[in-house]
Amino acid sequence: MLTAPLSTLNAQPAEVPCAHCGDACTENSPHLEDKFFCCDGCKTVYQILAEKDLCTYYDLSDSPAGIKLKNRNFGEKFASLDNVDIAHKIIEYADAERVKVVLHLPAMHCASCIWLLENLYKLREGIVYSRVNFMRKEITLQFNPTQISLREVAELLTTLGYEPQINLDTATPKLADKQYKRLLYQLGVTGFCLGNIMLLAFPDYLAVTGVDFYAQEANRGFFIGLNLLLALPVFFYGALDYWVSAYKALRARTVNLDVPISLGIVSLFARSLYEMLFLNGTGYMDSLASLVFFLLIGKWFQQKTYAGLSFERDYKSYFPLAVLRKGKKEAENTEEEFVQVTDLKKGDIIFIRNQELIPTDGILQSEKAQIDYSFVTGEAIPVQKYAGEQVYAGGRQVGEGISIEVTKEVSQSYLTQLWNNEAFQTPNTLSPLERKVQLFSQGFLYVTFSIAFLAGLYWFFIDSSKVANVFTAVLVVACPCALSLAMPFALGNALRLLGREGFYLRNAEALLHLAEIDTLVFDKTGTIMKNDSETVAWVGESLTHQERAYIALLCRSSMHPLSRQIFDWLNPQTFQTELCLANFQEVVNRGLTGWVNGIKIQLGSSKLATKPLPEESAQDTAGKVFVFWQNSCRGYFRLESHYRDGFPQLLQDVKDNYEIAVVSGDNDAQRENLAQVLGKNVTLRFMQQPEDKLLYISALQQAGKHVLMLGDGLNDAGALKQANVGIALTEDTTQFSPACTAILHAPSFPRLGKYLQYSKKLVNVVYWSFLLSLLYNFIGLAWAVSGNLSPLFAAILMPISSASVVGFAVLMSEWVRE
Amino acid sequence: MAVIIILIILSILVAGSFLAGFIWAVRSGQFEDTDSPAVRILLDDKK
């Protein structure tokens, strides 16, 4: 079949996967010998790789490695990198012969990618070295600027499908993950000390004190001294975070769980110190070290971060780094040059190309523009603007390039102002469970102190030599270390489980907030409605085979998304007629015109009509693509968006237990349709500006609701931040998502209801683990008040209680998952 | 038996060198990316 002659419109055997990206090839796909490609981009990459003998790329992974290159338009996107000032914003190091740069490549996804990207030096002269950080999806490149420019590097990567993400955020220096590194140091140091302390305490465990050698004063002193020396880093460095946290809490006149823990550690240390220095005893340094070690492991376990994801993105990661300035309003004959968007001044004339983002507010200079504000407002259909009209930051120009006179600096623009709006920066609130823990810690502290005092008082009358002993023993044993381990382990484990499913939570506390949710607010466009997979319906007299072929031919010549959609819907693989298209013309905003077999065919908006349209189709022309046959209307394609897969299932899961609302930036054309699907008890709000969404959520919160917001775009950013839990839904986790509490990968969308249930069960697991650890505290207390707490007993009880609570929490968090 | 003191000191020094090794590893960024080295080792250069 593959050897069949391949004229342009000839049918190809069905389901030939692209040799590069694995997509199905369409009939007019390019090919190289026996390899077929879905588009020219894929073919180009294959050719480049084949030429340099780098086709191992395709053998490294099971599924096709290549990145889809359909509908990609690079244009002059990276031209701004030729500007030295702009390039230096992202270059790490540069001298005459070497330039080092770190680029973020979100498209990186498999072993093949690593292989290819690290073999870049074979591909192009001038690239010296490249190294990938897969977790961060970053590449560190070193190249020779005399042979290749930064722009060329960026373009090479883009040609291969790994488009570097260069935006305003890239230029802002990032805080390195120092905290995590410090935790690793602390773990290492504490682990080292723990092992050695335990080893040195061994003679005591085995009660070999009677042995001559060990009984000798000098030798015993050596053991004790060494133990003390090893305990110091644990006490001062390993447990540092607990001191800081407890100190902060006490200064704020509150008590957190770290306060009783610190108290336990301090009394353990003080008592050991006393015993070692004055009583020639061994002390409890082993218990101290194992306690701190366990606590640190808990921290480490909870600190699972998703390096490839960002929960903090703001407008900076959305804006381009630079924009072409054509000139200034007053000053004449200024040169065209790229300037950083942050340097834009009032009066600058900037040029925005097709698909580029408008970085700041301005006045349109070009005749007209078609601006897609979908990301800012949620409105799906681009807005038409004419010369002299105001355009706002955040819009995306669709069509030819436009000129804009800047009226506001970037930091003053509508979008940036919106972002800096106070309401958008809500402080983090404590979840109810955290508040309970706080109250509990307070109570715990009082109870512990009372028991310690009462026990001390009792022993004062019985045997006064044991008072200090019992008092400190109570504080040591009551240290809620197992308690403080239960939560990090249960939640940390759950975080991992959910992450594996494509539900990425920002941190463990988010799970606690999730459990408290009682109201769900959904964004419509892009969230519960899919905007990319609109269904096409033909309205009018049914089309003949031939007519379909004609329309398909017309659509094929256009890159407009609607044309592609109609083309796909027509499924022209079934036509085999040889046709030829003449005088093809595409006019932005109007549509396509062409002659096939002498028949004039037009496809596009109602503006193409030369005669008045039939009445029923003339109303509400949005979302309709008209077809004209020799200037008379033949009918139209209606494009309908439909619900995201699994939405009914999700609705079924949540509608009984949660209040549901849907907010949308769109008009209420679909109100009835929505109401039918969602049922009566759902609040529907249309024409909602980003602020309206935010205000609606804060109104719900005022009424005592715990709100979850599920949204997808910048238009939901404020609402996502305001909500108790803001979840950004994304088709591709490497793509931009606004600041949020969690990122939900689209395929997991139907399971959201399950995740909500899971979070509730998880909170119960935490309670049960608390109870278990309290049980251990009581056992220990019984020994402590009776004055029988020996170092050996403490060294055994503490790790056992910690380990069993941790084991319980992890196993239960696994088990309650369905 | 006094030799045990020398042995303990030696063992702590050995363990200390491992700790130093760990600290060096963290400092040089070996814990920043735990995914790509695992893949990288399996990719061989075509000679």
- A140-149, A336-345, A508-517, A771-780: the lowest-pLDDT one: A336-345
Residues on chain B touching A219 (C-beta within 8 angstroms): 2, 5
Nearest alpha carbon to residue A777 among A492, A438, A489, A473:
A473
**Poorest-confidence range of A7-11, A326-330, A355-359, A509-513?**
A7-11
**Nearest-Cα residue of chain B relative to residue A60:** B43
**pLDDT value at position A312?**
60
**Interface size, chain A vs chain B, as Cβ–Cβ contacts under 8 Å:** 62
Q: Chain A contacts of B8, Cβ < 8 Å? A: 200, 226
pLDDT number for residue A418: 63
Q: Which residue has the higher pLDDT, A41 or A783?
A: A783
Radius of gyration over every alpha carbon of chain A, rounded to an integer in angstroms: 33
Beta carbons of A650 and A537 less than 8 angstroms apart:
no
The answer to whether A117 touches B39, Cβ cutoff 8 Å, is: no
Fold: same for A79-171 and A531-641 = no
> Does residue A411 have a pLDDT over 60?
yes
Which class does domain A79-171 fall in? alpha beta
- Show the DSSP H helices in A353-408 as ranges: 374-377
Q: Does A303 touch chain B (CB under 8 A)?
A: no
CA triple A571-A572-A576, angle to 5 deg: 150
Q: A418 CA to chain B: closest CA distance, Å? A: 35
Give the model's pLDDT for residue A10.
Answer: 42
pLDDT at res. A577: 55
Q: Tell me: domain A321-355+360-412, CATH 2.70.150.10, correct?
A: yes
Angstroms from A305 CA to nearest CA on chain B: 11
Query: Which superfamily, per CATH, for A531-641?
Result: Calcium-transporting ATPase, cytoplasmic domain N (3.40.1110.10)
Name which of A5-19, A504-518, A683-697, A702-716 the model is least confident about.
A5-19
The enclosing H or E element of A213 equals helix A212-215
Of B1, B19, B36, the CB nearest to A134: B36
Q: Which residue of A has its CA nearest to B12?
A: A196
Nearest to B23 among A111, A118, A185 (CB): A185
Q: Cα dist. A613→A605, A606, A636 in Å? A: 11, 8, 11
A554-581 residues labelled b (16+ CB within 10 A) or e (exposed): bbbebebebbebbbebbebeebeeeeeb
Place of tokens 């968006």: A641
pLDDT band of A4, cuts 50, 70, 90: very low
ipTM of the complex: 0.91
What pLDDT is recorded for position A2? 39
Which residues, other chains included, contact A1 with Cβ-Cβ below 8 Å and sequence gap of 6+?
A13
How far apart, in whole angstroms, are the C-alpha atoms of residue A323 and residue A347? 14
Alpha-carbon dihedral sign for residues A481, A485, A487, A490: negative
Taking each helix axis from N to C end, the angle separating A432-462 and A508-516, rounded to the nearest 10 degrees, works out to: 110
Q: Is the pLDDT of residue A759 over 50?
A: yes
Mean per-residue pLDDT of chain B? 82
8 Å CB contact between A625 and A605: yes
Dihedral (CA of A210, A215, A221, A222) sign: negative
Q: What is the pLDDT of residue A618?
A: 58
Q: How confident is the model at residue A170 (pLDDT cuts 50, 70, 90)?
A: low
Measure CB to CB from residue B46 to each of A56, A111, A226 and give the nearest one: A56
The answer, yes or no, to whether residue A522 has pLDDT greater than 80, is yes
Strand partners, A32: A35
Read off the tokens for A373: 């504000």
Measured in whole angstroms, how far is the alpha carbon of residue A139 from the centre of its chain?
19
A226–B12 CB contact, under 8 Å: yes
Q: Say if A387 is an interface residue toward chain B (CB within 8 Å).
A: no
Nearest to A394 by CA among A353, A466, A410: A410
Q: How confident is the model over A253-289, as pLDDT tens digits?
A: 877 778 888 888 888 898 888 888 887 777 788 888 9
Mean predicted lDDT score pLDDT of chain A: 77
Could you give the percent of chain A with pLDDT greater than 90?
2
Which class is A491-529+644-760 in CATH? alpha beta
Q: Which of A318, A355, A358 is nearest to A717 (CA)?
A: A318
**Tell me, what's the pLDDT at A533?**
47
The pLDDT of A568-589, averaged and rounded, is: 68
- Domain coordinates in residue numbering, chain A: 79-171, 178-303+433-490+761-815, 321-355+360-412, 491-529+644-760, 531-641
Q: At residue A141, does pLDDT exceed 90?
A: no
Q: Which of B11, B35, B42 has its CB closest to that of A134?
A: B35
Task: List A residues 120-139 in contact with B (Cβ-Cβ < 8 A).
Answer: 132-136
pTM to 2 decimals?
Answer: 0.70
